[in-house]
Amino acid sequence: MTTLDTVLAEADRQLDQSLERLFELIRIPSVSTEPHYAAACRRAAEWLRDELASLDFDASVRDTAGHPMVVGHGPKVAGPHVLFYGHYDVQPVDPLALWTTPPFEPSLVPQPDGETFITGRGASDDKGQLLTFIEACRAWKTVTGSLPIQVSMLFEGEEEAGSPSLGPFLEANADDLRADTILVCDTDMWDRETPAITTMWRGFVSEEFEVTTADRDLHSGMFGSAARNAVQLLGSIIGALRNEDGSVAIPGFYDGAIELPAANKAEWERLPFDAEKFLGDIGLSIPAGEAGRSVLEQVWARPTAEVHGVWGGYSGDGFKTVIPAKAGAKISFRLVAGQDPHRIRDLFRDFVRAMIPADCSVTFKAYGTAAAQSMPLDGKLLTKAKEALTTEWQRETALAGTGGSIPILGEFKERLGMDSLLIGFARFDNRIHSPNEKYDLSSFHKGIRSWVRILHAFTEA
Amino acid sequence: MTTLDTVLAEADRQLDQSLERLFELIRIPSVSTEPHYAAACRRAAEWLRDELASLDFDASVRDTAGHPMVVGHGPKVAGPHVLFYGHYDVQPVDPLALWTTPPFEPSLVPQPDGETFITGRGASDDKGQLLTFIEACRAWKTVTGSLPIQVSMLFEGEEEAGSPSLGPFLEANADDLRADTILVCDTDMWDRETPAITTMWRGFVSEEFEVTTADRDLHSGMFGSAARNAVQLLGSIIGALRNEDGSVAIPGFYDGAIELPAANKAEWERLPFDAEKFLGDIGLSIPAGEAGRSVLEQVWARPTAEVHGVWGGYSGDGFKTVIPAKAGAKISFRLVAGQDPHRIRDLFRDFVRAMIPADCSVTFKAYGTAAAQSMPLDGKLLTKAKEALTTEWQRETALAGTGGSIPILGEFKERLGMDSLLIGFARFDNRIHSPNEKYDLSSFHKGIRSWVRILHAFTEA
């Protein structure tokens, strides 16, 4: 029996205790966005510090302007140095009435197909996922007395609140936190059987704008046609945002946008993705993105503009013949590598301003940005992790993209120059952020085993 | 002294009593849209019946499905037969706190410029205005014992509620109500010194529509660009509604629309209308209607499309990266003679349906319609009324249009075949429908005198 086999066996043996530790953590109601849970957030941080200390980590709870951070450093070991990032805070639990088990009283619920659900708020996002890594470290520690590579960990308590303290904390602790790569366990598998590493995510820039025409709402009988209608103007702007072929019509929008690398394209073509089913599951059949691009490209590798909400005029019951003087919208752009979010914001504003008549006006309100990121598919650590995952799950690991944005990893890149490896064991039906969140027991168990293998594989990287 | 002079003198002499009668009527809180004022509405109807009876009218209160009608017929006299229409119901008074005098306790408030305001809900709309006509009849009756022409009157109590009972009532009482023309006193003067007859008003068709894309709201990180965005689709439709030159882009929209007759055009060019001020007063300077049309044409004589309100997605505080699955708008069209409202509704629906992708859908909800109307400027009664007004006010009477729609007069035209003469003495600053409604004492006094003259002038028509 190799050392690896012994550590895997230890991970199996300790599973019940691992679960008990997960239950302890779920029982701490660390909802970051609700002030009366602030003490619970600190308790979760202290709990994690103690776990790390039990692994001989030099661990501490660090205060921030918001909820505290937990930083822990394992003993120095030769080879690569990884920084594992996770978050101990969870989403609010409302509406409570929809939960079939209490959100902060975890339980194991056997399923007809042989799977068992670990229920509770945070069971998946991110308490269950982050513990797969800690428990893998514990198995190594128990068997060998140490970890196979140098490991640091960083846990924050404000991820569900937009991570306001993370950037300043990284900035202030750059030397303490810098490592060869960040490991994150906060993503999904490709499907129930297929492990995945997320290697590409889109950037983001979000914006609100409001146009003003007349100095008050007017009656359409008195002014109809001669007085500029703010909703009509807003509609013209929104209507002009995207071309008939699905592309974004803002001049310069695509300048510098990097085409999907051939390696990713080849990888994605291999993936069992059914575009028809993808759209069919949401009641659609016609891709709305750029013509000539596959659906996967449209959602993972191509930039887009999306309007998230509009307002203006009267939208209540019945009818009012008002000419609205104000109308606005919230809009965001998903970006790809090569597009600077701040430049895109400027281009958008120029585009809108050019459509505003001289006697009307527009105001803008900036919301957040995040840069797109794309990890090279042939990186040493990525290759090793991929092999380890494929061995554990006995399925070729998917190197996937995501159309979402991960601002915190932009912070790591920008402030510490670090790339990320996103390996998660969640499943699409985990109901994170919703009532009845769950994590599959197989996600938890095989997740721990996967990290055991990855830590071992990294010794050879 | 001619008979006319004597009657005018009587109108002057009786002014205090006329005012007292107006105060009595204003004190009756006949708010038609609030059920607990139903008894007050009936009381107002009975009050009017009694006034008509005191003029030897055959007058009665007639029940309807809603508030009652008042119908009165004066003694038969040779010459033209006019049907005066007015409404005794008033708008709600909320917000009460903004009134500086109680809405149902009328008072006389002297102004620095020598004018006196008659305050109270309905002082102008329409109690003050309709009494100008009744008091003119009273002056004639007092002096000559009769009226110079045959007069009938119809008062309804649901004008502020959309006149739901009027059409059926006209239909059921067509023979009883038919006359040579309808007289209405519910409009404004051209300006403080210049009397006006409104000879043209636009038609109307109103509609609500909602587009549905996916079967639920989606996350733009997961589906952004590939999944059709309902607000984007709605924006495209609204944006396409009007062309860059301000015209309506719906195919067939202008078919049959009748150009402003040369007589009206000549009349309007004479009117002291300052387009720059008209727009400047509402904070605008660039006419948004059809290029090459004057502002007066745009608002009085050209059809238009106006969006009154829009909804879809998230419009609250902060930001949600949702791809909305539903979005809708309320829209109306102002029409001119030659445009059938029902045909315009169909054209609009076809226009929208043509823009809906095959995997999306749209629903429509019809609101009201009204046909445009235009009175010939050389009609005998109109010409006589115009001369009488010009004599009383010592200013050339304006033959004006209005961009609004007057559905009730469409009912009279459609059901009884009757044209209308709209002569009103209200002023633009009367705050009808708002707190602190008022009617100028000079409107009331000279309004009565104007009708005295018009009734006389009609004997020669």
User: Is B292 domain-assigned?
Assistant: no
How many Å apart are CA B52 and CA B137, to the nearest integer?
A: 10
Instruction: Output the six-digit token pair for A205.
Output: 């820039």
User: Is B264 domain-assigned?
Assistant: no
User: Using the beta-carbon criterion (under 8 Å), do A324 and B334 form an inter-chain contact?
Assistant: no
Q: Give the three-class secondary structure for B383.
A: helix
Omega of the bond leading into B126 within 30 degrees of 0 (cis): yes
Q: CB distance from B97 to chain A under 8 Å?
A: no
How many Å apart are CA B88 and CA B42, to the nearest integer?
A: 10
Q: State how far Cα A180 lies from the chain centre.
A: 21
Omega of the bond leading into A126 within 30 degrees of 0 (cis): yes
A236 lies in the same domain as A119: no
Residue in chain A closest to B331 (alpha carbons) equals: A321
Which pLDDT does position A342 carry in this prediction?
97
Which pLDDT does position B319 carry in this prediction?
84
Q: Give the closest residue to B180 by CA, choosing from B461, B400, B451.
A: B461
Q: Please, which residues bridge with residue B105 across strands? A: none
CA distance A314 to chain B (A): 4
Q: Work out how many CB contacts closer than 8 A connect A with B.
A: 288
User: Is A279 domain-assigned?
Assistant: no
B227 lies in the same domain as B104: no
Q: CB distance from B310 to chain A under 8 Å?
A: yes
How many Å apart are CA A26 and CA A32, to the nearest integer?
A: 14
- The residues near A229 (Cβ < 8 Å, ≥ 6 apart) are A213, A323, A324, B288, B306, B307
User: Using the beta-carbon criterion (under 8 Å), do A288 and B357 form an inter-chain contact?
Assistant: yes
Which pLDDT does position B145 carry in this prediction?
96
CATH of the domain at B377: 3.40.630.10
CA distance A34 to chain B (A): 16
Q: Please, which residues bridge with residue A71 across strands? A: A60, A154
Residues 379-408 of B with CB under 8 A from A: 402-405
Residue in chain A closest to B293 (alpha carbons) equals: A226
User: Is B28 domain-assigned?
Assistant: yes
How many Å apart are CA A168 and CA B317, to the nearest integer?
A: 25
User: Is B218 domain-assigned?
Assistant: yes
CATH of the domain at B357: 3.30.70.360
Residue in chain A closest to B304 (alpha carbons) equals: A225
Question: How many CB atoms within 10 Å of residue B36?
Answer: 8
Q: CB distance from B314 to chain A under 8 Å?
A: yes
Question: How many CB atoms within 10 Å of residue A156?
Answer: 26
pLDDT reading at A354 higher than 90: yes
Apex CA A92: angle with CA A89 and CA A98, to 5°? 135
Which pLDDT does position B69 carry in this prediction?
98
User: Using the beta-carbon criterion (under 8 Å), do A221 and B404 form an inter-chain contact?
Assistant: yes
Question: How many CB atoms within 10 Å of residue B226?
Answer: 30
Q: State how far Cα A216 lies from the chain centre.
A: 42
Which pLDDT does position B68 carry in this prediction?
98
* Phi, psi torsion values for B258, nearest 5 degrees: -85, 135
Q: Give the three-class secondary structure for B364.
A: strand
B133 lies in the same domain as B148: yes
Which pLDDT does position B78 carry in this prediction?
87
C-alpha distances in Å from residue B360, one per residue of B59, B210, B212, B293: 58, 11, 6, 38
The answer to whether the beta carbons of residues A233 and A355 sit under 8 Å apart is yes
B123 lies in the same domain as B167: yes
Cross-sheet strand order for the sheet of A116-119: A107-110, A116-119, A438-440
The answer to whether the beta carbons of residues A199 and A377 sit under 8 Å apart is yes
| pLDDT tens per residue across span A245-281 | 999 999 999 999 999 999 999 999 999 899 999 999 9
Residues in chain B within 8 Å Cβ distance of A291: none
B157 lies in the same domain as B167: yes
Residues in chain A within 8 Å Cβ distance of B247: none
Residues in chain B within 8 Å Cβ distance of A211: none
Which pLDDT does position A78 carry in this prediction?
87
How many Å apart are CA A125 and CA B260, to the nearest integer?
A: 68
Q: What letter represents residue B307's amino acid?
A: V
How many Å apart are CA B267 and CA A75, to the nearest integer?
A: 95
Instruction: Pick B241's closest partner by Cβ from A213, A226, A232.
Output: A232
B179 lies in the same domain as B74: yes
User: Is B275 domain-assigned?
Assistant: no
Which pLDDT does position B95 carry in this prediction?
87
In percent, how much of chain A has pLDDT > 70? 100
The answer to whether the beta carbons of residues A234 and B237 sit under 8 Å apart is no
How many Å apart are CA B225 and CA A306, to the nearest integer?
A: 7
C-alpha distances in Å from residue A250, one per residue of A241, A253, A345, A349, B11: 7, 5, 11, 10, 69
Q: What letter represents residue A249's amino acid?
A: A
Could you write out the DSSP letters of every residue in B419-447? -EEEE--B-TTS-TTSTT-EEEHHHHHHH
Could you write out the DSSP letters of every residue in A244-305? TTS-B-STTTTTTPPPPPHHHHHHHHHS---HHHHHHTTT--S--S-TTS-HHIIIIIS-EE
Q: CB distance from A416 to chain B under 8 Å?
A: no
C-alpha distances in Å from residue B183, one per residue of A221, B221, B415: 21, 63, 16
Kindly indicate the confidence band of residue A95, based on its pLDDT and cuts at 50, 70 and 90: confident
Best mutation target among A307, A322, A422 (most B Cβ atoms within 10 Å) is A307
Residues in chain A within 8 Å Cβ distance of B314: 308-309, 330
| pLDDT tens per residue across span A166-214 | 999 999 999 999 999 999 999 999 999 999 999 999 999 999 999 999 9
How many Å apart are CA A347 and CA A351, to the nearest integer?
A: 6
The residue from A342, A370, A398 where one domain ends is A370
CA distance B234 to chain A (A): 8
How many Å apart are CA B120 and CA B30, to the nearest integer?
A: 12
Instruction: Output the six-digit token pair for B230.
Output: 């309902």
Apex CA B99: angle with CA B96 and CA B104, to 5°? 80
The answer to whether the beta carbons of residues A403 and A306 sit under 8 Å apart is no
Q: Please, which residues bridge with residue B211 across strands? A: B327, B362
User: Using the beta-carbon criterion (under 8 Å), do A403 and B286 form an inter-chain contact?
Assistant: no
How many Å apart are CA B126 and CA B120, to the nearest integer?
A: 11
- The residues near B428 (Cβ < 8 Å, ≥ 6 apart) are B188
Q: CB distance from A292 to chain B under 8 Å?
A: no
DSSP state of B90: B
- The residues near A399 (Cβ < 8 Å, ≥ 6 apart) are A196, A197, A199, A264, A267, A377, A382, A386
The residue from A350, A370, A390 where one domain ends is A370
Residues in chain A within 8 Å Cβ distance of B309: 231, 312-316, 320, 322, 324
Question: How far separated are the first and last CA of chain B, in Å rounded?
Answer: 22
B191 lies in the same domain as B66: yes
User: Using the beta-carbon criterion (under 8 Å), do B242 and A226 form an inter-chain contact?
Assistant: no
B115 lies in the same domain as B232: no
How many Å apart are CA A307 and CA A206, to the nearest integer?
A: 10
Cross-sheet strand order for the sheet of A304-313: A361-370, A203-212, A326-335, A304-313, B304-313, B326-335, B203-212, B361-370
Question: How far separated are the first and last CA of chain A, in Å rounded?
Answer: 22
Q: Please, which residues bridge with residue B380 across strands? A: none
| pLDDT tens per residue across span A20-41 | 999 999 999 999 999 999 999 9
Q: Which domain holds residue A413?
A: 3-201+373-458
A318 lies in the same domain as A226: yes
How many Å apart are CA A356 and CA A358, to the nearest integer?
A: 6
Residues in chain B within 8 Å Cβ distance of A219: 404
User: Is A271 domain-assigned?
Assistant: no
Omega of the bond leading into A95 within 30 degrees of 0 (cis): yes
Average pLDDT per consecutive 10 residues, chain B (461 residues; last block may be shorter): 96 98 98 95 98 98 98 93 98 91 97 97 97 98 97 97 93 96 96 96 96 94 94 98 96 96 93 94 96 95 96 90 95 96 98 98 95 93 98 97 91 92 95 93 98 96 77
The answer to whether the beta carbons of residues A77 and A149 sit under 8 Å apart is yes
| pLDDT tens per residue across span A292-328 | 999 999 999 999 999 999 999 999 888 888 999 999 9
The residue from A370, A385, A419 where one domain ends is A370
A23 lies in the same domain as A154: yes
| pLDDT tens per residue across span A357-415 | 999 999 999 999 999 999 999 999 999 999 999 999 999 999 999 999 988 999 999 89
Q: CB distance from B345 to chain A under 8 Å?
A: no
Q: Please, which residues bridge with residue B304 across strands? A: B334
Q: CB distance from A280 to chain B under 8 Å?
A: no
User: Is A97 domain-assigned?
Assistant: yes
A48 lies in the same domain as A171: yes
- Would you call A338 exposed, middle or buried from its count of C-beta atoms within 10 A (0-12, 13-18, 19+)? middle
Which pLDDT does position A318 carry in this prediction?
85
* Beta-sheet pairing, B196-201 with B373-374: antiparallel
B68 lies in the same domain as B32: yes
How many Å apart are CA B166 and CA B175, to the nearest integer?
A: 15
Q: Give the closest residue to B15 by CA, choosing from B429, B417, B325, B444.
A: B444
Instruction: Work out how many domains chain A is built from and give that number.
Output: 2
Which pLDDT does position A1 carry in this prediction?
85
How many Å apart are CA B212 and CA B229, to the nearest integer?
A: 9
Instruction: Pick A218's closest partner by Cβ from B282, B322, B402.
Output: B282
- Would you call B201 exposed, middle or buried from its count of C-beta atoms within 10 A (0-12, 13-18, 19+)? buried
Which pLDDT does position A461 carry in this prediction?
77
How many Å apart are CA A174 and CA A166, to the nearest integer?
A: 11
User: Using the beta-carbon criterion (under 8 Å), do A319 and B214 form an inter-chain contact?
Assistant: no
